Structure 1
Amino acid sequence: MKILIGTLSYKPNVSGVAVEVELLTQFLLKKGHQVVIVAPSRSLRSHIEHQDGLTIYRVRAIPSPIRRGFYLPIFTGRLTERILQEVQPDIVHVHDPMAMSRYLQQSATKHGVPTVASNHFTLDYIGAYLPGILRPIVLGWLRRMYVGFYNRCQAVTAPSVTVVNYLRSLGVRDPIEALSNGVDIDRFSAHTSTEQTRRSYGLPQQPIILYLGRMEKAKSINVLIDAFARVHRTVDCHLLLVGGGDNLQDLAAQIAKYGLSKSATLTGLIPYNSVDLAPLYQVADIYVMPSSIETQSITTLEALAAGRPVVAANGGALPELIKNGVNGILFRAGSSADLADRILTLLHDSTLRSRLSGAAVKTAAKHELQKSLQLFEDLYETTIRRVSH
């Protein structure tokens, strides 16, 4: 097959979508398919890149007004039409409902090519970045745009049943499938010595509480820091925050306000392909996901694969992944007091940590990466057959 993938987020961007698109692309190339990526340029100039058998059309774009380091394509209608004519794909797969994807879908329909659309975020995520006075107006428009776009596609996917049900509640029609992002079990379950990681990052011989992901307001990391301050009054422990983002300096200031700068490590950005990434999970005693807007949470899947006891917000799609008291613990979203209590419960109960760890690994095994990616290839084939009949 020749597959054209359209996405607003692709390397060098750092996001779950960028990781998912790269993993899917590499899988498809290894299976012998041709893959073409359409993604934003980081300037007003469109150009073509060639990397390891992959063609990337970079479309002129401007900086995003709400997310630093991200770019939004502009004036893409004619360009996407030309790309479709040049590439002549068997199927188009877009990873957002924004303007570039809509133009790709329109051109694909014009040429009789089916479109698969993957949804990776809910309107709540966008709403977290909008000023209060504009929020209802913008979200109302986005909802109508969401529904209209997805209903023009031949298949829609989301990473969890929670998001599938959310899309249906908005008015998106079937076929919609829940296809997990997947996780590289072998990579994240490998047990290595933690001493080198502790030395490399200056981590003490204390229980480590880990969060790994983007440092953004919508991720509610401030709730984790407030909870850590409560926990630290009772237990000598260390907070490890791994990732970069717009909110990093504010989070460092919040930690300093509590007088806990020596009890916390902020590593900054560590790329997905870094050899340091998996060992950072292994060094942790507890993994915390404080965000309540996750559509699945790739990093929570990675923590489960690493056998880490997880404490996650009881919101978004996390309760679908984390079963309270079985493979992790849920806390009341937004409540630092409840989160602190859950962390303390785990720190004081090694038997519970061990039981959750074993169940975590079994949960991750259900989301094995290659099996998850294979489902996308299967979906392409069935969609092409269905549309051609």
Structure 2
Amino acid sequence: MAASPLDASGSGDRGPGGSRVPEAAPEPERLRVLIGTDTYPPDVNGAAFFTARLARGLAERGAEVHVLCQSPHGPPQVARDGGVVEHRLRSVPSLAHETLRLALPPGAAGHARRLLARLRPHAVHVQNHFIVGRLLISAARRNGIPVVATNHFMPENLFHHLRVPASLRPGIGRAAWRDFVRVLAAADHITTPTRIAAQLLLDQGFDRPVEAVSCGIDVRRFRPPADPAAERPRVRARFGLPDRPTIAFVGRLDEEKRVEELIGALPRLGPGDAQLVLAGAGARRPLLERLAAGCGVADRVHFLGLVPGGDLPLVYRAADAFAIAGTAELQSIATLEAMASGLPVVAADAMALPHLVHTGRNGYLYPPGDVGALAKYLTEILVSPGERARMGEASRAIAVRHDERASLARFERIYRDVARVRGRGLADG
């Protein structure tokens, strides 16, 4: 039997004059990731936004990305959003939040198993330990697929939505953490956005290593205005805002964000015409509107509602400072966006906010609930243009260390590492 060229030479084709043509190196195998989450856009919360940015960012870097999540309307469906394939599970309205829907467990477990068998991802990345995350962890374990888990969970963020009485919150919180530890014990690699958030898990009894990987932000999209004095009045006019000293808050108007402290501080500010701009929606908006009227500052509190993503950078550009009063922030993407936009920040001295805000350098931390201290620090920033500019530059310098490109690269490395350990390794891209 005549030998083929490969059999005869072991090297492939020959070029002109019989010179040997080297074989092309095989292309590296494409990374395949299945992300599982119980909250995904159009949901409006930090975990949903992070998950969507992670999925799209990985796809833009060449990975094959699938997301298993709840349907936004009820019926199941498969859709493609850019380079991401969304596998939407049948869902029902949630009792915890007026806009949040939950995947139905009946049928979801079988769907997860079939999806894993068909896709054979190199890694599964779950964003929570509730319905989808729990089912996907179980299915991945049975199929020998490595699991990466990122924690965005704090019981405090659910108490108000679930209407848990204050007297029961400590006990329910402890039970919730025990459940978290049990479910996430099956994961191969655990991440959370900050070192403070990682320590929280260890304090709650989680006895595995936890890596801090920033959620990351697009520091090219969120950036300081080139000429603040000229640009801020134009941006304020676009939102229908008066041209006056402006404090911004971006986020949900729900109990755990404690926006009432920001409104309560407004009458105490040195600049008597300072205004507060609130970008976001939530159940407490009617209460906050009444509070502003009761404090005599209704004309200086502006509710923008949900701002389209394309306009969100402009909200920060309209402001002179950013304020956040929440005490259950595992990182706070909005605070990072404000810092990347060159704003000084006044934040509650709680959870992960001290990881971002350094008193006297890029803003101030105030004791949660101390509205007088909040007003004092905001006044110091608003009345001193030089101090404001210095702190804004420091904020930007801190924020650029959270460039989402670095976060995406780290997650890719984690996926490859856990796949290799599980014997499902792939060549580096």
TM-score (norm 2): 0.86
1:361 to partner: Cα distance = 1.1
**Matched ranges for 1:291-306 at <5 A:** 291-306=326-341
CA distance in 1, matches of 2:73, 2:397: 45
1:123 to 155, 177, 184: 155
1:249 to partner: Cα distance = 1.8
Deviation per CA, 1:243-288, whole angstroms, max 9, x where unpaired?
11221222112112223222121100013x32x2112111211110
Deviates more, 1:68-77 or 1:210-219: 68-77
1:2 to 23, 32, 41: 32
**Matched ranges for 1:46-195 at <5 A:** 46-75=76-105, 76-129=108-161, 130-191=164-225, 193-195=231-233
Contact kept? 2:33, 2:64, Cα under 8 Å: yes
Which amino acid letter does the alignment assign opposite residue 359 of structure 2?
N
Which amino acid letter does the alignment assign opposite residue 31 of structure 1?
R
Which amino acid letter does the alignment assign opposite residue 86 of structure 1?
R
CA distance in 2, matches of 1:72, 1:278: 30
1:217 to 255, 275, 293: 255
Contact kept? 2:321, 2:343, Cα under 8 Å: yes
Aligned residues: 386
Which amino acid letter does the alignment assign opposite residue 387 of structure 1?
R
CA distance in 1, matches of 2:119, 2:234: 47
Structure 2 counterpart SS, 1:187 = coil
Structure 2 counterpart SS, 1:152 = coil
CA distance in 1, matches of 2:289, 2:282: 12
**Matched ranges for 1:327-346 at <5 A:** 327-346=362-381
CA distance in 2, matches of 1:213, 1:244: 7
Contact kept? 1:229, 1:258, Cα under 8 Å: yes
Query: What's the counterpart of residue 315 of structure 1?
Result: 350
Which amino acid letter does the alignment assign opposite residue 236 of structure 1?
D
CA distance in 2, matches of 1:52, 1:224: 38
1:43 to partner: Cα distance = 4.6
CA distance in 2, matches of 1:9, 1:286: 30
CA distance in 2, matches of 1:199, 1:301: 25
Relative to structure 1, is the Cα distance of residues 285 and 43 closer, same or farther in structure 2, using a 3 angstrom cutoff? closer
Relative to structure 1, is the Cα distance of residues 385 and 175 closer, same or farther in structure 2, using a 3 angstrom cutoff? farther
Query: What's the counterpart of residue 208 of structure 1?
Result: 246
**Matched ranges for 1:31-42 at <5 A:** 31-42=61-72
Deviation per CA, 1:105-163, whole angstroms, max 9, x where unpaired?
01001000000000013223233442235424432331111001121100011000001
Contact kept? 1:154, 1:175, Cα under 8 Å: no
CA distance in 1, matches of 2:77, 2:159: 32
Matched, 1:240 2:240: no
Contact kept? 2:232, 2:319, Cα under 8 Å: no
Query: What's the counterpart of residue 291 of structure 2?
Result: 254
Which amino acid letter does the alignment assign opposite residue 90 of structure 1?
H
Structure 2 counterpart SS, 1:153 = coil
Deviates more, 1:92-101 or 1:258-267: 258-267
Contact kept? 1:60, 1:73, Cα under 8 Å: yes
1:210 to partner: Cα distance = 0.8
Deviates more, 1:105-114 or 1:63-72: 63-72
1:292 to partner: Cα distance = 1.3
Structure 2 counterpart SS, 1:173 = coil
Structure 2 counterpart SS, 1:235 = coil
Deviates more, 1:19-28 or 1:74-83: 74-83
Provide structure 2 residue ranges, at least 5 long, that are not aligned to the other structure.
Answer: 1-30, 425-429
CA distance in 1, matches of 2:397, 2:285: 33
1:224 to partner: Cα distance = 0.8
Query: What's the counterpart of residue 287 of structure 1?
Result: 322
CA distance in 2, matches of 1:371, 1:34: 19
CA distance in 1, matches of 2:400, 2:109: 42
Provide structure 1 residue ranges, at least 5 long, that are not aligned to the other structure.
Answer: none
1:51 to partner: Cα distance = 2.9
CA distance in 1, matches of 2:296, 2:328: 29
Instruction: Please tell me whether Structure 1 or Structure 2 has the larger radius of gyration of its CA atoms.
Output: 2
Contact kept? 1:213, 1:244, Cα under 8 Å: yes
Contact kept? 1:156, 1:177, Cα under 8 Å: yes
CA-atom RMSD, angstroms? 1.7
1:196 to partner: Cα distance = 2.8
Structure 2 counterpart SS, 1:239 = strand
1:52 to partner: Cα distance = 2.8
Contact kept? 1:121, 1:294, Cα under 8 Å: no
Relative to structure 1, is the Cα distance of residues 60 and 137 closer, same or farther in structure 2, using a 3 angstrom cutoff? farther
1:82 to partner: Cα distance = 2.2
Which amino acid letter does the alignment assign opposite residue 304 of structure 2?
T
2:75 to 45, 48, 52: 45
CA distance in 2, matches of 1:215, 1:50: 31
TM-score (norm 1): 0.94
Which amino acid letter does the alignment assign opposite residue 217 of structure 2?
V
Deviates more, 1:24-33 or 1:46-55: 46-55
